[in-house]
Amino acid sequence: MDLMQKLTILADSAKYDVACTSSGVNRGGAHGSIGSASAPGICHTFSADGRCVSLLKVLMTNVCTFDCAYCVNRRSNDVPRAAFTPQELADLTIQFYRRNYIEGLFLSSAVLVNPDYTTEQMIKALELLRGPYRFRGYIHAKAIPGADPLLIQRLGILADRLSVNIELPSAASLDRLAPDKKKASILTPMKQIAVGHAQNRKELAVYRNAPKFAPAGQSTQMIVGATPETDRQILKLTEGLYHRYSLKRVFYSAYIPVSQDSRLPALDTKPPLLREHRLYQADWLLRFYHFDADEILDDDNPNFDPFLDPKCNWALHHLEQFPVDINRAPLEMLLRVPGIGPKSAKRIVQARRHSQLGLDELKRIGVVLKRAQYFIVCKGFTSAHGTNRRAIASALIDPNVFTAHTEQLSLFSLGETPQLSAAGISPDLTLPQAKEAAISCIANRM
Amino acid sequence: MYRESDVVYRYDGSFEGFLCCVFESISQKEIPFDILPWDFAATTLFSEKDIPTEIAKATRVKSSFSKKLGKAAPTCIAHAFLSCHPQKELLLLRFLILGYAKGPAVLSMAGHPDVAPVLAMEKQVSSEAHQFTGFLRFCDYGEFLGSTISPKNYVLPLLRLHFCQRYPSENFLIYDQTHNAVLLYFNGVSEYLILDKPPVFPAVSAEEQAYQTMWKQFYQTISISARENPRCRQTHCPKRYRVNMTELADER
């Protein structure tokens, strides 16, 4: 089998892995070596599905001894199988890297023979890169659950970021769909990496040439929509992971049916992309906007509103906290105003030291006044707070949901939003009609 | 107090030349109607003043930036000057005049009408340079790696450090089509050249062709067809970048 075929098979098997980020570590170049890394990360291209391609994302092998129902590489699936040799993979990475196609390597693997053997193969490839090739670019490696802690330690020294996939949002779902994986076997390496990373930070503070263990931290991902968990459960789990294992990122992957199985949604189910989008929005609120999961969703509303992003939704449920005085409010409160993000909030705090801010200044700073105007007061402006509810609703509604050619967020992915029928919107309305109905629905709730 | 004057400054287009315009404006206490490079072919109704480039004056102005406007100012001003904005000189001048009056605080006055455009230019230049650190493609010609880009702003100076650090042992050449300029890095030394005519790249070897094909194949394979979303891709990777991207050039 030639390299081209292997690359095709092993990239195809890796494409459902979500993370392709190259962020979290700064490393300059060095004489006689190749590569560097930049902390914000660099996207090298965008694939037809609009996702960033930053790393050469491949599996070491897709030959698997496990049989997880949701996975395209499961033992019982009849697909072509292949495996890279460590040498082939290292060569390919360097050649792609020289041409500036990629920022580095994302190496995952199916479980060949057993987790230890698989991890050893991955380590061999990474040792070639970091050793003889003197590669200083970015490497993201998957820790295989069940591998020996010493091997994971070695992997962490070679890679910049490690990740362990939590796969499904609850232990019950894991038992049902991935009988070979246990919750404990996933959380053990995750904990090991978290502890190892924290300990390494201390060592580095004492001795700056100490070997770095996963300097860009760890991430994880889970499949959304294959199992019955609510958005609230998923978000609580995410929050727990950020707190307990100090993860850098949690990724969500809308389930795309890859097999006919009675335990899974039918093959013609569309991936719940809108739900995934809302989860990411909420994830941002947790990480950059000082929100708690309990503020975003509660027992009465366990799922996201399909028409509103979680921040607008929160603001509409807490109108008593508005309007916010731009020239006085603390940063945390500015961050809660729809239309103000972390950057503009910071700029507002800096700029208001020098002069009182009015609408013109806010516009120049980059605040989205279309949404913010209903929630703020500033110099010469006393909030459009009192305007009619319909106008507010139509300014806040997520426009992407009703744009015909954004296939991604089309509301009419059947079965994805049960709230639709509850709001009196049937799938045979045209987009503008559906939008009107949604606006009325929001206005009535206010 | 500065007087709004209807004279047009003409300078040589270099950063030092611009600094001399700043010197002239401030010593005369006048704000010109416009500041244009000599090679900018436009006759105006206004009287023109040729500003010669004098290194001594330029150095004086340059050293005032960090002294009067704070540590972050020199980089911000230098980056904003690389912008393709037709009135970048005048916008920068107004910003500097305000800055000399207000001190380092000027950089945080993001809402001020004289500050916002400069911050916007700086942002546009840096983000375009950042895009090119990813979207630029090299082609292996045996002796060196070659690349062509067509940026809006003059981003070569911002790419130099990034690529020299990344490929210290390679020889490479980046050709900026828009400004007819080249960044050369040979045997560990980098330099900029302005060209009269486009460079001619040698023929592509079979090995290079093979890697290009493999990269295209990888690019096609990594996308999930059930999630296809052309508009999202368009937002993140606008069509103007795709001309010189191996995997997207054919698709346009």
Task: Provide the ipTM.
Answer: 0.93
A47: Cβ–Cβ under 8 A, 6 or more apart, which residues? A53, B219, B222, B223, B233
User: Does residue A409 register a pLDDT over 70?
Assistant: no
What pLDDT score was predicted for residue A406?
Answer: 44
What pLDDT score was predicted for residue A425?
Answer: 63
Q: List, as one string, the DSSP characters of B147-167.
A: EEE--SS--HHHHHHHHHHH-
pTM of the predicted protein model: 0.91
User: Does residue B67 register a pLDDT over 60?
Assistant: yes
Contact B236 A43 (CB under 8 A): yes
pLDDT tens-digit series, residues B120-174:
999 999 999 999 999 999 999 989 999 999 999 999 999 999 999 999 999 999 9
Q: What is the DSSP letter of A269?
A: P
Residue A316 one-letter amino acid? L
Contact B169 A16 (CB under 8 A): no
Contact A57 B219 (CB under 8 A): no
Q: List, as one string, the DSSP characters of B187-228.
A: TTEEEEEE-SSPPPPPPPPHHHHHHHHHHHHHHHHHS-GGG-
Are A442 and A307 in contact, with CB atoms under 8 Å apart?
A: yes
What pLDDT score was predicted for residue A411?
Answer: 45
Which of A416-420, B122-126, B231-235 is predicted most confidently?
B122-126
What pLDDT score was predicted for residue A404?
Answer: 52
Tell me which of A21-25, A259-263, A366-370 is least confident. A259-263
Contact A34 B167 (CB under 8 A): yes
pLDDT tens-digit series, residues A155-192:
999 999 999 999 899 888 988 888 888 888 899 999 99
User: Does residue A385 register a pLDDT over 80?
Assistant: no
pLDDT, mean of residues A395-413: 61
pLDDT, mean of residues A408-427: 52
What pLDDT score was predicted for residue A403?
Answer: 66
What pLDDT score was predicted for residue B45?
Answer: 77
What pLDDT score was predicted for residue A424?
Answer: 58
What pLDDT score was predicted for residue A415?
Answer: 44
Q: Which residue has the higher pLDDT, A370 or A413?
A: A370
**Nearest 5°: phi and psi at A72?**
-70, -25
Q: What is the DSSP letter of A416?
A: S
Is B237 within 8 Å of chain A by CB? yes
Q: Would you give the distance in Å from CA A229 to the centre of its chain?
A: 18
A173 token code pair: 């779902």
What pLDDT score was predicted for residue A405?
Answer: 46
* A285/chain B closest Cα distance in angstroms: 22
* A243/chain B closest Cα distance in angstroms: 31
Contact B111 A365 (CB under 8 A): yes
* B10/chain A closest Cα distance in angstroms: 30
User: Does residue A122 register a pLDDT over 90?
Assistant: yes
**Residue in chain A nearest B217 by alpha carbon:** A8
Tell me which of A49-63, A263-277, A398-412, B194-208 is least confident. A398-412
| pLDDT confidence band for A418 (50 / 70 / 90) | low
Report the DSSP beta bridge partners of residue A167. Answer: A222
A48: Cβ–Cβ under 8 A, 6 or more apart, which residues? B223, B225, B228, B229, B230, B233
Q: How many C-beta neighbours within 10 Å does residue A432 have?
A: 10
Taking the C-alpha atoms of residue A360 and residue A346, their distance in angstroms, rounded to an integer, is: 17
- List the single residue in B136, B169, B229 with the smallest CB-CB distance to A50: B229
pLDDT, mean of residues A8-25: 90
B59: Cβ–Cβ under 8 A, 6 or more apart, which residues? none
Taking the C-alpha atoms of residue B200 and residue B214, their distance in angstroms, rounded to an integer, is: 25
Find chain A residues with C-beta within 8 A of B236's C-beta: 43, 46, 50, 52
pLDDT tens-digit series, residues B74-83:
999 999 999 9
Contact A350 B110 (CB under 8 A): yes
Are A264 and A257 in contact, with CB atoms under 8 Å apart?
A: yes
Q: Which residue has the higher pLDDT, A235 or A437?
A: A235
Contact B211 A95 (CB under 8 A): yes
**Residue in chain B nearest A346 by alpha carbon:** B108
User: Does residue A261 register a pLDDT over 90?
Assistant: no
| pLDDT confidence band for A307 (50 / 70 / 90) | confident
- List the single residue in A15, A32, A273 with the smallest CB-CB distance to B222: A15
pLDDT, mean of residues B36-58: 86
What pLDDT score was predicted for residue A419?
Answer: 55
Is B226 within 8 Å of chain A by CB? yes
The strand order across the sheet containing B189-194 reads B139-140, B145-149, B172-176, B181-186, B189-194
Q: What is the DSSP letter of A313?
A: H
Report the DSSP beta bridge partners of residue A224. Answer: A254
* B99/chain A closest Cα distance in angstroms: 13
Percentage with pLDDT > 70 across chain A: 93
User: Does residue B237 register a pLDDT over 70?
Assistant: yes
Q: Give the A:B interface size as CB pairs under 8 Å.
A: 175
Q: Which residue has 């490696």 as its token pair?
A: A141
Residue A25 sits at the vertex; the CA angle it makes with A23 and A27, to the nearest 5 degrees, is 125
In degrees to the nearest 10, what's the CA dihedral of A7, A13, A17, A21?
Answer: 0
- In a 13 Å sphere around the CA of A352, the CA atoms on its Cβ side amount to 21
In degrees to the nearest 10, what's the CA dihedral of B196, B201, B202, B207?
Answer: 170
| pLDDT confidence band for A18 (50 / 70 / 90) | confident
pLDDT, mean of residues A305-312: 90
Report domain extents, chain A: 3-290, 310-445
Contact B147 A100 (CB under 8 A): yes
What pLDDT score was predicted for residue A412?
Answer: 43
Taking the C-alpha atoms of residue B11 and residue B13, their distance in angstroms, rounded to an integer, is: 6
User: Does residue B249 register a pLDDT over 90?
Assistant: no
Give the H/E segment covering residue B185: strand B181-186
What pLDDT score was predicted for residue A414?
Answer: 39
Taking the C-alpha atoms of residue A176 and residue B55, their distance in angstroms, rounded to an integer, is: 75
Taking the C-alpha atoms of residue A168 and residue A67, their distance in angstroms, rounded to an integer, is: 15
CATH number (3.20.20.70, 2.60.40.1120, 3.20.20.220, 3.40.50.800) of A3-290 reads 3.20.20.70
pLDDT, mean of residues A369-394: 83
Percentage with pLDDT > 90 across chain A: 60
What pLDDT score was predicted for residue A416?
Answer: 47
Taking the C-alpha atoms of residue A56 and residue A58, their distance in angstroms, rounded to an integer, is: 6
